[in-house]
Amino acid sequence: MITKYCITDNNSIDETIIKEAGEIIKKGGLVAFPTETVYGLGGDGLNPESSKKIYAAKGRPSDNPLIIHIADINDLQRITARVPQVAMLLADKYWPGPLTMIFEKADCVPYETTGGLETVAVRFPSHPVAKAFIKAAGGFVAAPSANLSGRPSPTHGEHVRQDMDGRIEMIIDAGPCEIGLESTIIDCTGEYPMLLRPGYVSYDMLAKEMERLDKDPAVFGGDTSTVPKAPGMKYRHYAPKGQLTIVSGTEEKVCEYIVKQIKDKPEGLRIGVISCSDSIQNYSSADYVADIGQRGDEMTIASRLFDILRSFDEENIDIIFSEEFDTPQMGMAIMNRLIKAAGHQIVRVE
Ligand code: TXA
Ligand code: MG
């Protein structure tokens, strides 16, 4: 298959591209599109054949459900059986935006889209191109992140091309994604809502809106005896080919440790570092240093993370050390992705 690569501006959207993309979806094809979090790999969420194609294009296990993206709050009713009041409140506050909510599904949502579950994940993104595209596509776009299964989520059109070229009908490139980490996921089907995946909308922001907010114990706090409620959270993800280790501790100790690792590096191997701009000068003898932004600038750190993880493969790095980025609002989300990428390999140097 030849993948059509189309570039559009966020401010003056190319309507011919959007119309063509919408037609592809309606005919059962696949289109990758930008959102404010990461690029999505879209298909018709109400068409079981489209969802099957999404799994095939990503190489994703089919028990891992897809998020249905809408562009009109009135469409929520059509795909859900029940919308609790707390969800309406959150929708009011955070939609359109980087929040996904889980509901009991309506009959029209095929099990192919929900990975066999009775529930459906729904998100109303704020990105102008995403909104226009979802409308043109009929209103219900099922979309996982547009990466090959296991790779970091794409935050630039070029990342999507690396993973999806030849596998889907079209890629819409509208530049880098603003947030750069996937949406926060909250399950609204239980007695109390439960946070399943951290994102830009933090636990504290959500907890403020309700009496009680639980956290999935399998994701937060490392309870290994239960499986995550969001099936995708159990899979290995984001990992670069090189061995990544997170170094945790005071700034000074972390830096000292990483500098020593660079000095003692085994012969013939290439070593890389993920560093804040503040401490980058310390690592000049590494083979490759990725600058993730100022320590206090969590928007920049989040938006660069996946691009940086991909860049280590291009630089053929064998051993990678990363500083820790435990920032106030998005720290939980940033560290969740980084820890997964490191396969839970953390060294504490306090
Ligand atoms: O920001 C995002 O959410 C991006 C953009 C494209 O919108 N999408 C995204 O999709 O990250 P994906 O498929 O890579 O991650 C969706 C996660 C998976 O971990 C999946 O298991 C979980 O959501 N999920 C989907 N439906 C679910 C359901 N009914 N119950 C529990 N978890 C669900
Ligand atoms: Mg994903």
Q: Which ligand has its closest atom nearest to the C-alpha of 227?
A: 1
What distance in angstroms lies between residue 276's CA and the mean position of ligand 2's atoms?
Answer: 25
| Contact 80 CB / ligand 1 (< 6 Å) | no
pLDDT at 305: 98
Q: Which ligand has its closest atom nearest to the C-alpha of 152?
A: 2
pLDDT at 37: 98
What distance in angstroms lies between residue 321's CA and the mean position of ligand 2's atoms?
Answer: 23
pLDDT at 239: 84
Cβ of 86: how many Cβ atoms within 10 Å? 18
State the distance between the two ends of the chain, measured CA to CA, in whole angstroms: 53
Of 236 and 15, more confident: 15
What distance in angstroms lies between residue 328's CA and the mean position of ligand 1's atoms?
Answer: 24
**Residue nearest (by alpha carbon) to ligand 1 atom 22:** 230
- Alpha helices (H) along the chain: 15-26, 48-58, 76-79, 85-94, 111-114, 128-136, 157-164, 203-207, 251-263, 298-314, 331-341
**For residue 231, which of 116, 152, 143 has the smallest C-alpha distance?**
116
Any idea which of 24-38, 60-74, 93-107 has the lowest mean pLDDT?
60-74
Lookup: tokens for 75: 């469409």
Cβ of 234: how many Cβ atoms within 10 Å? 15
| Torsion sign across C-alpha atoms 89, 199, 61, 234 | negative
Does residue 226 have a pLDDT over 90? no
| Contact 43 CB / ligand 1 (< 6 Å) | no
pLDDT at 174: 98
Residues 6+ positions from 24 with CB-CB distance below 8 Å: 30, 31, 169, 170
Q: Which ligand has its closest atom nearest to the C-alpha of 189?
A: 1
User: Mean of the pLDDT values across residues 195-202?
Assistant: 98
% of residues, the chain, pLDDT over 90:
91
Tell me the best of 58, 120, 182, 186 to mutate to test the pocket of ligand 1, counting ligand atoms within 8 Å of each CB and taking the most.
182
Digit-coded pLDDT (tens) for 285-333: 999 999 999 999 999 999 999 999 999 999 999 999 999 998 889 999 9
Per the CB < 8 A criterion, the answer to whether 174 and 34 are in contact is yes
Question: Atom of ligand 1 at shortest distance to CA of 39?
Answer: 6
pLDDT at 244: 97
Task: Quote the pTM value.
Answer: 0.97
What distance in angstroms lies between residue 79's CA and the mean position of ligand 2's atoms?
Answer: 22
- 63 pLDDT band, cuts 50/70/90, is confident
What distance in angstroms lies between residue 147's CA and the mean position of ligand 2's atoms?
Answer: 7
Beta strands in 201-269 (DSSP E): 214-215, 243-248
